[in-house]
Structure 1
Amino acid sequence: MVTERRQRICDAAIDVLGAGGSRRLTHRAVDAAAGLPLGSTSNVFRTRDALLAGVLDRLLERETAGWQQLTTAGMPRDVGTFAALLAGLIEELTGPQRMLTLARQAIFHEAAFRPELQRRIDAAQRDLLTWGGGWLAALGSTRPERDLRALLALIDGVLMLRLANPHDAPPTAPMFVALLRGLRADVS
């Protein structure tokens, strides 16, 4: 069970990561961002590795909620509507949720060097592939897991480009339409 304090610490750590990257992530910085007394973060997360793992879990929890919210109105049955939903998600993740996305990029970079974080990301991705493959199957994909991996790679690339150069970002809906239509063609 996640305590309110643990969640508050993790959300503050996400803000620290989003504002300054992984080099800024310290127990002291998180205490300050959370408005907690010094030592509060280290009481919950004894080491930096434990803090990173907790933050990753919270990031994944928040991302999963975002994906679920994307389809709360029901799964779109046409490519154009789904592409528009994805474009809206990109706008949200690079606009109001920009700090979350920057924190995600920072922690994924950390994962490149930390096998425990890699395992957590892999488990979360398998969960997403399990329930998200149905979206693409409904749109005509005959290989939904493979195709969802391609879609997720495009989303990650678009997010990175929009974060790095927000003033020269191409419209995303047409990119998603092109990918989704290509998936339906099932080119091997």
Structure 2
Amino acid sequence: MPTTKERALSAAVELLGTEGVRALSHARVDARAGLPAGSTSNWFRTRRSLLAGIVDWMAESERADFDPSGVSVARGSDGLIDGLCAMVELQSGAFAVRTRARYALFVELASDLELTAPLRRQRHEFERWTDQLVSAAGILDPVPSARALMALCDGLMLHRLTVDPGLELRPIIERTVRALARA
């Protein structure tokens, strides 16, 4: 059973991902989590500490959900295509609320390097992991290719979350991976 703190953080992410940063308040988190009034402020006294808690909790959740050490590295372009399609599908499907919350936090906190540090560290871990996947797929010069694929996937996620939820991912990702493999 989740702790009061975990319930508050989960509710805060849900608020961010469904209603945006302006909807975030201690009282609204308590209401969303079904907690007694004041519960969230017991854990997070200020809005800044609540935001810091959310950022840390999201980074931990994403590491648990996408733990690179628990995923076998697929070989070849087809494995890379399958993996990228699955990741974008999850982030824009089952984890859509959390993805929207992450984007909202990045935009809102862009100038606050201290608060966004856990999300940026998380991004760097995924960059290194993607470098390994791209290299295992046999694509030469894997670092710039991995960054291009990550940018593409970010754009596809944003597009699916805002404009076209049914966007067909495979043809776009496949075309890009095949082009990088030929380069």
The bucket for the TM-score relative to the shorter chain is 0.7 to 0.9
Report the equivalent of 1:141: 139
Provide the rounded CA distance (Å) in 1 between the counterparts of 2:170 and 2:36.
45
Q: 1:89-120 deviations in whole A, cap 9, x for unaligned?
A: 22222223221121111111112132223323
Within the alignment, does 1:104 sit opposite 2:82 as a pair?
no
Q: 1:26-69 deviations in whole A, cap 9, x for unaligned?
A: 11111111111111111111111111111112222222233337
Report the equivalent of 1:28: 27
- When residues 88 and 127 of structure 1 are mapped into structure 2, their CA distance, relative to the original with a 3 A threshold, is closer
Segments of structure 1 that go 5 or more residues without pairing to the other structure are none
Deviation of residue 158 (structure 1)?
0.6
Provide the rounded CA distance (Å) in 2 between the counterparts of 1:172 and 1:47.
40
Output the amino acid matched with 2:177.
L
Output the amino acid matched with 2:142.
P
Segments of structure 2 that go 5 or more residues without pairing to the other structure are none
**SS at 1:166 equivalent:** coil
Deviation of residue 79 (structure 1)?
1.5
- When the two structures are superposed, what TM-score results if normalisation uses the length of structure 1? 0.84
Report the equivalent of 2:163: 165
| Identity rate, percent | 34
Cα RMSD over matched residues?
A: 2.2
Give structure 1 regions of 4+ aligned residues with deviation exceeding 4 angstroms. none
Q: Is the 8 A contact 2:4 2:35 kept in 1?
A: no
- When residues 126 and 98 of structure 1 are mapped into structure 2, their CA distance, relative to the original with a 3 A threshold, is closer
